[in-house]
Structure 1
Amino acid sequence: MANRIHPTAVLGEGVELGDDNVIGPFAVIVGPARIGDGNWIGPHVTIGTPGEDRGRPHPDAWETAPVGDPDHDGHGVVIGSRNRIREYVSVHQGTWRTTTIGSDGYFLRNSHIAHDCLVGDGVTIASNAVTGGHCHIWDGANLGMGAILHQKVVIGPGAMIGMGSAVRREIGAFTIAVGNPARVTGVNVVGLSRRGVDEETIEALGPWLKGKEGLPDVTLPGDLSTLVKAWDARPRDEH
C-alpha cells in the first residue's frame, strides 16, 4: 500500500520510505534515514536531527540535501517495520554509527532515542523515557514511564525498567530493575512465561539471569534460545 503522509509533514532529502507508512501532521524526518514498512509515525515526531554534541555541525537538512558524508551529515537513522512511534518522540542520527531501531516496537509519547543507540525488536519505551547516547537496548526490553538511561548503558533482552528509574549500568536479560540508581530486584517471570517458558525452566535460568552462574543446559523456544545465546556470547566491551 502507498504511504500516507500528512501535507504538513517535512521529509528532507535522503529519506527512504518503504510501503504503508503513516506519517502524521508536523512530523519532521531528516536524511539520511531509511524507514521500513507499516510504521505509524505520529504528529510532531522528529527523526534524524543531529546528535546532541556541541562539536558537531547542525545543518539545515530539511532544506539542503545531505551529501552522505558522515563527518558532515552524520551516520543517519535506520528504522524497521511495524513500529508505533507516538506524538513528540525524537530520534537523533548517529555520530559514529547509525542510530538503529528494529521492528514491532512501541514508542510512547515524548520518549527519546539518542544518537548512536541500538534498539532491538519488540521494544517498548514508555512516555517520557529518555536514553543517553550510545545505549544498546536488546529485543523485548521495556522502559517504564520517565525512565532515564545514562550514556552507553546496555539493557538486556526482556528486561523491565521501572518507571522513574535512573539506569547507570548494564541490566541483565529478563530481569527487573527499579530505583535511582536502578538495581535489579528480580526476574521478569511474566515476560519469560509469555514466551513459552515453564516454571521449572525459569527456576533453572534464575542463577544465570542474576549473573551468578553460567547459562544452564535448558530447552527454550527457538527464537528465545537464539536471543539468550546471543546475549550470553555478547562482547562485554561493545562501547
Structure 2
Amino acid sequence: MPNRVHSTAVVGAGVELGENNVVGPYAVILGPATIGDDNWIGPHAVIGGPAEDRALAHPASWEDAPTGDPERDGHGVRIGNRNRIREYVTVHQGTWRTTSIGDDNYCLRGSHVAHDCVIQERVTLASNVVLGGHVEIWSHANVGMGTVVHQRVRVGPGAMVGMGSAVRRDVGAFTICVGNPARVTSINTVGLSRCGLDESAIEALEPWLKGKGDLRKDGLTDGVPEDISTLVTAWGARPQTRS
C-alpha cells in the first residue's frame, strides 16, 4: 500500500521508505535512512539528524543530498517494520555504525535515541526516555518514563527499568531495576510469562538470571520457547564491558 506522508513533513534525499508508512505533520526524516513497512511516525518526530558530536559535520540534510561520505553524512539510520514512533521522538545518525530500530517497537512521546544506538524488537521506550550514544536495548525490554541510560550501556532482553531511573551499567536479562543509580530489585516474572514461560521454566531459569547458574551446563533453557532461549543465550555470550 502507498505511504501517507503529510504535506508539511520533510523527507530528505537519501531516505528510502517502504510501504504503508504514515508520516505525520512537520515530521522530518533525513538521509541516509532506510524505513521499512507499516511504521507510524508522529508529528514533529525527527529521524536522521546528525550525531551530537562536536567533532562531526552538521550538514543541512533537509536541503542537500547525502554525499556518501560518512564523516559528513554519518552512518545512517535504519528502522524496521511496524514501529510506532510518537510525537517529538528524535533518532540520530550513527558515527561508526548505523543507528538501528528493529521491528514492533514503541517509542513514546519525546523519547531520544542517540547516535549508534541499537534497539532490537518489541522494545518500549516510555515518554522522555533518553538513550546516550552507543546504547543497546535488547528485545522485549521496557524502559520507564524519564529514564536516562548512560552511553554504551546495554539493557538486557526482557528487562524492565522503572521510571525516573539513571542507568549507568548493564541491566541483566529479565530483571527489574530502578533508582539513581539504578539497581536490580527482582526478576521480571511478568515479562517471562508474557514471553511464554510457565512457572517451572521460570523457576529453572531464575538462578542464571540471578548470576548463579550456567545456561548450557545446567540445561536452564529446557522448556523455554526457542526464540527466548536463543535471546538469553546470546545475552549470556556477549562480550563483557566494565562497570
Deviations 1:59-94 (A, max 9, x none): 001101011211111001000000000000000000
User: 3-state SS of the aligned residue for 2:47?
Assistant: strand
- Verify: 1:191 aligned to 2:191, yes or no: yes
List per-residue Cα deviations over 1:175-194 (Å, max 9, x = no partner): 00000000000000001011
Question: 1:151 is matched with which residue?
Answer: 151
> Any unmatched runs of 5+ in structure 2?
none
> Which residue matches 1:8?
8
1:80 matched to which residue of 2? 80
Q: Which amino acid aligns with 2:32?
A: P
Secondary structure class of the residue paired with 1:163: coil
- For 1:182 and 1:214, locate their aligned partners in 2 and report how far apart those are by CA, in whole Å: 25
Task: Using the TM superposition, give the Cα deviation of residue 159 of structure 1 relative to its aligned residue in structure 2, in angstroms.
Answer: 0.3
What SS does structure 2 have at the residue aligned with 1:201? helix
In structure 1, what is the equivalent of residue 98 of structure 2? 98
2:137 paired with 1:137: yes
1:232 aligns with 2:236: yes
Q: Match for residue 67 of structure 1?
A: 67
Note the C-alpha offset of 1:212. Answer: 2.3
Match of 1:113 in 2: 113
1:18-75 Cα offsets, whole Å, 9 max, x none, are 0000000000000000000000000000000011101111000110101121111100
Offset from partner CA, 1:117-166 (integer Å, 9 cap, x none): 00000000000010000001000110000011000000000000000000
> Per-residue deviation at 1:237?
4.6
Q: CA deviation at 1:219?
A: 2.2
Deviation of 1:233 after TM superposition, in Å, equals: 1.6
**In 1, Cα distance between equivalents of 2:67 and 2:211:** 46
Q: Which amino acid aligns with 1:227?
A: L
CA distance in 2, matches of 1:226, 1:156: 13
For the residue of structure 1 that corresponds to 2:176, the secondary structure is strand
Distance in 1 (CA, whole Å) between partners of 2:96 and 2:83 is 24
When normalised by structure 2's length, the TM-score is 0.96
Equivalences for residues 13-32 of structure 1 within 5 A: 13-32=13-32
Q: Distance in 1 between matches of 2:210 and 2:116?
A: 28
Find 1:222's aligned residue among 219, 223, 226.
226
- Tell me which amino acid in the other structure corresponds to 1:231: W
> Distance in 2 between the 1:92 and 1:210 partners?
34
Indicate the percent of aligned positions where both proteins have the same amino acid: 67
In the alignment, the residues of structure 1 paired with residue 241 and residue 162 of structure 2 have an alpha-carbon distance, to the nearest angstrom, of 25
TM-score (norm 1): 0.97
The structural deviation recorded for 1:211 is 1.6
Query: Do the aligned partners of residues 113 and 226 (structure 1) sit closer, same or farther apart at CA in structure 2, a change above 3 Å counting?
Result: same
3-state SS of paired residue (2:181): coil
Could you list the runs of 5+ residues in structure 1 that have no partner in the other structure? none
One-letter amino acid of the structure 2 residue matched with residue 213 of structure 1: G
Ranges of 4+ aligned residues in structure 1 off by more than 4 Å:
none
SS of alignment partner, residue 63 of structure 1:
coil
The Cα RMSD (Å) is 1.1
Letter in 2 for 1:75: H
Q: Distance in 2 between matches of 1:214 and 1:176?
A: 21
**In structure 2, distance between residues paired with 1:237 and 1:179:** 21
**3-state secondary structure, aligned to 1:25:** coil
Number of the residue aligned with 2:126 = 126
